[in-house]
Amino acid sequence: MGTGLEHDCAPLAASTAQARGQRSQKRYVGSSPSLTVVWTATRHMTVQASSVHFFAGPFLQETPPGKDMNDVTVWLAYKF
């Protein structure tokens, strides 16, 4: 019998990137500034959008693929 969290964790596990440290002695991974906007469309509906840019630090730059990444996400929440 599961806890019900298995389905919530699956997409995260599938999209998580992993980097091994054998090619770098650096420790700084990077930084990720973000911008989030929340709009209450009605008393029942809220729209939230978030944009994140991840700047790869020295550790990731020395560990392939070592690239910066962008992510844009939009949520729609409805209250009953």
- Give strand pairing partners of 56: 30
pLDDT tens-digit series, residues 45-59: 999 999 999 999 999
User: In the chain, how many domains are there?
Assistant: 1
With respect to residue 7, please indicate whether it lies within any of the assigned structural domains. no
Per the prediction, the chain carries an average pLDDT of: 81
Q: Is residue 67 part of a domain?
A: yes
Q: Is residue 4 situated within a structural domain?
A: no
In a domain, 3, yes or no: no
User: What's the pTM?
Assistant: 0.61
Would you say residue 12 lies in a domain? no
Q: Is 8 contained in some domain? A: no
**CA distance to 30, 37, 49, 73, per residue, from 52 (Å):** 13, 12, 10, 9
Q: Report residue 16's pLDDT band, with 50, 70 and 90 as the boundaries.
A: low
46 belongs to a structural domain: yes
Q: For residue 59, what are the domain limits? A: 26-78
